[in-house]
Amino acid sequence: MLGVALISMISAISIMFLSSRVAAMLGKTLRDKVFQKVMGFSGEEFSNFSTASLITRSTNDIQQIQMLITMLFRVVVYAPIMGIGGFIRVLANSNTSMAWIIGLAILCVIGIVLVLFIVAMPRFKKLQDFIDKLNLVSREILTGLPVIRAFHTEEKEEKRFEVANRDLMKNYVFVNRAMSMMMPALMFVMNSIMLLIIWVGGHNVDQGIIQVGDMMAFIQYTMQIVMSFLMISMISIMLPRAGVSAKRINEVLETKPRIVDKENPKKFDESKKGLVEFKNVSFRYPDADSECITDINFVAKPGETTAIIGSTGSGKSTIVNLIPRFYDVTGGELLIDGVNIKEVPQKELRSKIGFVPQKGMLFSGTIESNIKYGNPEISDEQMVKAARIAQAEEFINNKEEKYDAPISQGGTNVSGGQRQRLSIARAIAIDPEILVFDDSFSALDLKTDAALRAALAKETKNKTVIIVAQRISTILNADQIIVLEEGTMVGKGTHEELMKTCEAYREIALSQLSKEELE
Amino acid sequence: MAHMNQKKPPMGGMGPGPAHGGGPAEKPKDFKNTTKKLIKNYLANYKFAIAIVILFAVGSTIFSIVGPKILGNATTEVYTGIMSKLSGGAGINFEKIAEILLTLLALYLISASFSFIQGFVMTGVSQKITYRLRNDIARKINRMPMHYFDKKTHGEVLSIITNDIDTISQNLNQSITQIITSICTIIGILIMMFSISWLMTLISLFILPVAAFIVKVIVGKSQKYFQAQQEYLGHVNGQVEEIYGGHTIVKAFNGEKQALEEFEKANDTLYHSAWKSQFLSGLIHPVMNFVGNIGYVAVAILGGYLAVKGRITVGNIQSFIQYNKQFTQPINQIAQVSSMLQAMVAAAERVFIFLEEPEEVQTSDNKVSTKDLKGNITFDHVMFGYDDDKIIIHDFNAKVKDGQKIAIVGPTGAGKTTMVKLLMRFYDVNSGEILIDGHNIQDFDRGELRKMFGMVLQDTWLFGGTIKDNIKYGKPDATDNEVIEAAKAAHVHHFIKTLPKSYDMVIGEESSNISAGQKQLMTIARVILTDPKILILDEATSSIDTRTEQQIQSAMDNLMKGRTSFIIAHRLSTIRNADLILVMDHGDIVEQGTHDELLAKDGFYAKLYNSQFEECEDEIE
């Protein structure tokens, strides 16, 4: 008997070893898969899911599933073996006059579990929504800290959090209370079944059908069978929540990114290096009623600076976001190096473009890791040069750790202007054919702005530069200025030309500079 | 310029790396203290409910323990009955058996309902505690100094609210009940076993120290991995948050591969700690089972011997075996509970560390009311640095009269925004004073002080709610008309009208169909509505184009009329008509005066102002 017990222990440990590895592996694989998938998402998918939801799906939901699988292995692998073993022993025992009691017991167990299931199920499904809501509110409180303090609305935010928190708690209480009913009920069923067996078994013994020992064995086997059913049904309680999680993960995994590489990508035309051509390009956001930009036509040539100017909401940023293919044009075509950008691999396309976004966005790490973000093999000289052009050298050198100075997530530990300069350095460091500045200069003061542009002009002699700008002064010397109004082009030319021909441009110019300054 | 000397944030809030070779396993750093806090600050509020839980748990356990013994009597009855029948007696006494079984049925029913009541109450208690913990954290966030969040990522703080609190919630519910029932069961079973046979009991007790030792070893080992697992979960989630948040940059610079590699690395570490912790904690059950089985064999042999000698009844052997089997269960449970407790206390520790971070002082001892203040502001020898050894504002002096329009200009990193942060007491000065109408700002309630200010920042922040609610943010009791008026004044009314559902449209951080400029206009409307005494525009218009800016200029002028306003701007065009321009460089004021005065001076400002045209000449050369 001791030997059997030893074997049983060793096999149990082996199961445990395998099951915990498998469960953890599943969690890991899922995480990798989801992360990889999300990496391929364009801005469109991000706004469809919302970033917060994608984060929960990649973290919490996967955790849920991993937990379930661990449990599943521990219990479900054992339970059927125990149950089936019990059945075999009972049936093998010549006398089956009490087998109906086992049937009754199983029916009771399943009945109880089913009732609880039906009662608690709807709330179970809601649970994740409430968790999401709470996470969203928490995130908003964290990101809006300065505003909340400025308006002194701490209490208001706390109320908002409390409401979300209370909803979640109420739901949890209901679900958990329903669940806390299950164990006592099931134990009661088991105990009652035991009593029933003794009562019926006593009579059978009296009539000489079975022996006392048989009765005792029967009790043991029945308990074993009922137990295994009990465990299986308990696990099934966990299924709905994990099911919801699985569905949410699956939604991510099954989303086909709109922007994918063609199977037979074309090559860039070497003779047209750096050429950016917009041919009747228009774009509308999915589900939007009207087009965001319409019929845009221009050519940006290497060695020249093309500036885009226009009022807020006129579609400037949209145009530059089309160049690295963050979104696909919905009409016309966009050519880079003479090829439609839908025909080339995104990776190759983007390696030609140095993109500086509107908001300076940095990653946690060091200044060095941020500047070298586009390509870790960038040499230190190149990094320093990029920092110099971006007018970041001075403040970097002022730091004790220089290029090793830490940057916190989002770059919140450097000022807005410094963040922006680092993100400019990051774009310059990869030595791209095309430099795109999406309104990147407005966070800089005029002096830095001017110095930066002067340095840029020297270093970007053969590059295509596309600048979205607010300040006329930033673009005064551009080779070509595109004036946008409500998504359409209302002017194209140099500053001098536009001052004469384009009313919208003149208005913008006059709003910023006095007449004398302009002349 | 801030935080040059900043250290890397401690990830996951955990302590130093792995313990030195062969040292003791990592545990919550201060188990006792954390537990004490949890009990004193949270559990103690539910004394009555917990007393009920204990009472009913004990009751339920006692009833279920008595069960097997009585059941054994029934078996004995059957056995002796059949024996007597064989020897020609009356046979089995079914009346007596029925009596026993009905008693048992009643016992089991009571036990079940007790156990249910206990679970019902405990669920309420543990959920309320987690509810309170979450609220406390949310409240705490609002009372912490801003610089705390410069060092911690949002992911780390979020992980406390979600993961750690979840751990507490799940484990609290089960651990308390299980501790009570397990201890009761052990004591109860011991008594029952002794009452059946002290000899057999003593033998089965031999396994106790062995069991306890095994449990201790396994729990200690698994704990280390549990902590590592929690920590790496924080890492992985932090990465997810960061990369998802900055996905445009990741894409633009082909950083997908690098991000993926880093993620896979962290994920892999998580995997190893996850399976190890699961495996080790799962070991307890089979090992204990084995130990239990050894005892079982000994008891069976001895029981058989005693029964032959007639010193024990068959029913009693059955009961004893049942008890003996149940005996290892509570020990198992206590082991489980102890690992649950460890995980819970470790999570609670992180929560408490967060809750115990120093807070900003909210109120002041010699409180001054902000009522009837005019808005005269004096900066008197202000010195400030985010770190004591890195002073970025050295000696700032300025006098501002109420109603004046003050512009602060200077190169990036000159300390412009820092001045404003000091004014609103997001940070406190190291030395010197900031006075409003002669009162040191530290004499006001922080909240009241900040309410005097209206602030428009470069980064817009709108919360997930309707446009109307967002505009009403600073003045929740505003009427619809006031909201519309404010929106009109901010020149955003027309735009809002074109949106589906107009003012009732739900927006948030993520709304992509509203441009940064339009969001900014909404935040301006929000400030217009609150009608503050002092106005701060920190690069407020840098995401609005100049034409729109000119259009809303009249609204801005109206807004600034009669208020002290501070304008931080790069665009010098917006500040030409300021009453006073403070030119900052390297944390100090280098020049001050009006636009014309400063230009005439031909100093730093003039250079700054002219720099926008310099470059034209550069390029021509």
pLDDT of residue A432: 83
Specify the length of chain B in residues: 621
Dist. CA B328–CA A47, nearest whole Å: 54
Side chain identity at A52, as an amino acid letter? A
Name the DSSP letter for residue B240.
H
Token pair listed for A477: 């010397």
Domain A306-315+353-518 falls in which CATH fold? Answer: Rossmann fold (3.40.50)
For chain A, positions 103-162, list CB contacts with chain B under 8 A: 131, 134-154, 156-158, 160-162
The CA distance from B471 to the nearest CA of chain A, in Å, is 12
The CA distance from B522 to the nearest CA of chain A, in Å, is 13
For residue A296, what are the β-bridge partners?
A281
Q: For residue B95, give the chain A residue with the closest CA.
A: A199
Whole-angstrom distance between the N-terminal and C-terminal Cα of chain B? 34
The predicted complex's ipTM stands at 0.72
Query: Alpha helix locations (H) across B478-545?
Result: 480-489, 493-498, 516-530
Dist. CA B473–CA B527, nearest whole Å: 9
The stretches in chain B having pLDDT less than 50 are: 1-26, 613-621
Per residue in A41-86, pLDDT (tens digit) is 877 777 777 777 788 788 878 888 887 887 777 776 666 676 777 7
Side chain identity at B386, as an amino acid letter? Y
Give the up-direction half-sphere exposure of residue B243: CA atoms within 13 A in the CB hemisphere: 31
Within a domain: residue B406? yes
With beta carbons less than 8 A apart as the criterion, state whether B115 and A240 touch.
no
Dist. CA B425–CA A149, nearest whole Å: 10
With beta carbons less than 8 A apart as the criterion, state whether B215 and B288 touch.
yes
Parse chain A into domains and list their residue ranges.
16-254, 306-315+353-518
The CA distance from A326 to the nearest CA of chain B, in Å, is 7
Dist. CA A13–CA B466, nearest whole Å: 56
Dist. CA A317–CA A296, nearest whole Å: 13
Dist. CA B86–CA A56, nearest whole Å: 71
With beta carbons less than 8 A apart as the criterion, state whether B344 and B171 touch.
yes
Torsion of CA B196, B198, B201, B203, to 10 degrees: -140
Of B335, B355, B375, the last residue of a domain is: B355
Q: Report helix, strand or coil for B178.
A: helix
With beta carbons less than 8 A apart as the criterion, state whether B458 and A163 touch.
no
With beta carbons less than 8 A apart as the criterion, state whether A427 and A435 touch.
yes
| Nearest CB to A347 within list B75, B111, B254 | B254
Residues of chain A positioned with their CB less than 8 A from the CB of B153 = 364, 408-410
| Nearest CB to B150 within list A408, A421, A443 | A408
Show Cβ contacts of residue A287 under 8 Å, excluding neighbours closer than 6 positions: none
pLDDT of residue B615: 41
Do B217 and B340 lie in one domain? The reply is yes
Helix axes A62-76, A212-254, angle to 10 degrees: 160
Helix axes A99-143, A212-254, angle to 10 degrees: 30
What is the number of structural domains in chain B? 3
Name the DSSP letter for residue B216.
H
Burial class (CB in 10 A: 0-12, 13-18, 19+), A411: buried
Do B506 and B381 lie in one domain? The reply is no
Per residue in B499-541, pLDDT (tens digit) is 777 788 877 655 556 766 777 788 888 888 888 888 888 777 6
With beta carbons less than 8 A apart as the criterion, state whether A434 and A463 touch.
yes
Residues of chain A positioned with their CB less than 8 A from the CB of B447 = 152, 154
Within a domain: residue B4? no
Whole-angstrom distance between the N-terminal and C-terminal Cα of chain A? 104
For residue A257, how many other CB atoms are within 10 A of its CB?
13
Show Cβ contacts of residue A303 under 8 Å, excluding neighbours closer than 6 positions: A274, A461, A462, A463, A464
Do B588 and B493 lie in one domain? The reply is no
Do B43 and B155 lie in one domain? The reply is yes
With beta carbons less than 8 A apart as the criterion, state whether B10 and B330 touch.
no
Q: What is the mean pLDDT of residues A213-221?
A: 77
Do B576 and B603 lie in one domain? The reply is yes
Dist. CA B488–CA B465, nearest whole Å: 20
Dist. CA A104–CA A96, nearest whole Å: 14
Sole residue written with tokens 């609204």: B555
Do B370 and B497 lie in one domain? The reply is no
Q: Is the pLDDT of residue A196 over 60?
A: yes
Dist. CA A311–CA A202, nearest whole Å: 93
Helix H or strand E encompassing A82:
helix A78-92
Record: contact B260-A153, CB cut-off 8 A: no
Beta strand pairing call for A339-340 and A353-356: unpaired
Within a domain: residue B16? no
Within a domain: residue B10? no
| Nearest CB to B4 within list A31, A359, A399 | A399
Dist. CA B237–CA B267, nearest whole Å: 10
Nearest to B6 by CA among A126, A455, A290, A366: A366
| Nearest CB to A206 within list B4, B91, B410 | B91
- Per DSSP, the residues of B552-580 read HHHHHHHHHTTSEEEEE-S-GGGGTT-SE
Residues of chain B positioned with their CB less than 8 A from the CB of A351 = 254
Q: B454-482 burial by CB neighbour count: b if 16+ within 10 A, else e?
A: bbbbbbbbbbbeebbbbbbbbbeebeeeb
Decide: pTM greater than 0.80. no
Do B232 and B333 lie in one domain? The reply is yes
Residue A21 or A53, more confident:
A21
Residues of chain B positioned with their CB less than 8 A from the CB of A35 = 240, 243, 260, 263, 267
- Per DSSP, the residues of A247-279 read HHHHHHHHPPPS----SSPPPP-GGGTT-EEEE
Residue A115 or A94, more confident:
A115
Dist. CA A247–CA A227, nearest whole Å: 30
For residue A308, what are the β-bridge partners?
A468, A482
Within a domain: residue B2? no
Record: contact B517-A141, CB cut-off 8 A: no
Do B249 and B184 lie in one domain? The reply is yes
Do B229 and B124 lie in one domain? The reply is yes
Residues of chain A positioned with their CB less than 8 A from the CB of B116 = 180-181, 184-185
Q: What is the mean pLDDT of residues A267-281?
A: 79
Range name among A217-226, A370-379, B295-304, B610-619 with the lowest pLDDT average = B610-619
Show Cβ contacts of residue A84 under 8 Å, excluding neighbours closer than 6 positions: none
C-alpha angle A141/A146/A147, rounded to 5°? 75
Do B387 and B493 lie in one domain? The reply is no
Record: contact B135-A158, CB cut-off 8 A: yes
Dist. CA A63–CA B322, nearest whole Å: 38
Do B563 and B525 lie in one domain? The reply is no
Q: Report helix, strand or coil for A77.
A: coil
Query: Alpha helix locations (H) across B31-93?
Result: 31-37, 47-86
Token pair listed for A378: 């960038």
Burial class (CB in 10 A: 0-12, 13-18, 19+), B350: buried
CA dist A109 → A74, A101, A177, A265, A353 (Å): 20, 12, 18, 61, 65
Do B328 and B399 lie in one domain? The reply is no
With beta carbons less than 8 A apart as the criterion, state whether A293 and A490 touch.
no
Q: For residue B5, give the chain A residue with the closest CA.
A: A400
Token pair listed for B248: 């445009």
pLDDT of residue B19: 29
Q: B156-170 burial by CB neighbour count: b if 16+ within 10 A, else e?
A: bbbbbbbbbbbbbbb
Q: Which domain holds residue B325?
A: 21-355
Within a domain: residue B13? no
Chain centre distance of CA A85: 46
The CA distance from B415 to the nearest CA of chain A, in Å, is 9
Record: contact A446-B570, CB cut-off 8 A: yes
**Main-chain phi, psi angles of B63, to 5 degrees:** -60, -40
Name the DSSP letter for residue B390.
B
For residue A99, how many other CB atoms are within 10 A of its CB?
15
Within a domain: residue B7? no
Instruction: Catalogue the long-range contacts made by A84-89 (C-beta closer than 8 Å, 24 or more residues apart).
Output: A85/A224, A86/A221, A86/A222, A86/A224, A86/A225, A86/A228, A87/A225, A89/A217, A89/A221
Q: Is the pLDDT of residue A337 over 60?
A: yes
Residues of chain A positioned with their CB less than 8 A from the CB of B410 = 445
Sole residue written with tokens 């084995």: B290
| Average per-residue pLDDT for chain A | 79
Range name among A462-471, A484-493, B536-545 with the lowest pLDDT average = B536-545
With beta carbons less than 8 A apart as the criterion, state whether B556 and B527 touch.
no
Of B298, B323, B355, the last residue of a domain is: B355
CATH of the domain at B260: 1.20.1560.10
Q: Report helix, strand or coil for B288.
A: helix
pLDDT of residue A455: 83
CATH number of A16-254: 1.20.1560.10
Show Cβ contacts of residue B591 under 8 Å, excluding neighbours closer than 6 positions: B581, B582, B583, B598, B601, B603, B604, B605
Q: Does A224 touch chain B (CB under 8 A)?
A: no
Beta strand pairing call for A305-310 and A464-468: parallel
Dist. CA B398–CA B382, nearest whole Å: 10
pLDDT of residue B548: 66
| Nearest CB to A173 within list B123, B237, B523 | B123
With beta carbons less than 8 A apart as the criterion, state whether B501 and B539 touch.
no
| Nearest CB to B545 within list A181, A206, A311 | A311
With beta carbons less than 8 A apart as the criterion, state whether B508 and B464 touch.
yes
Give the up-direction half-sphere exposure of residue A514: CA atoms within 13 A in the CB hemisphere: 7
Q: Does A468 touch chain B (CB under 8 A)?
A: no
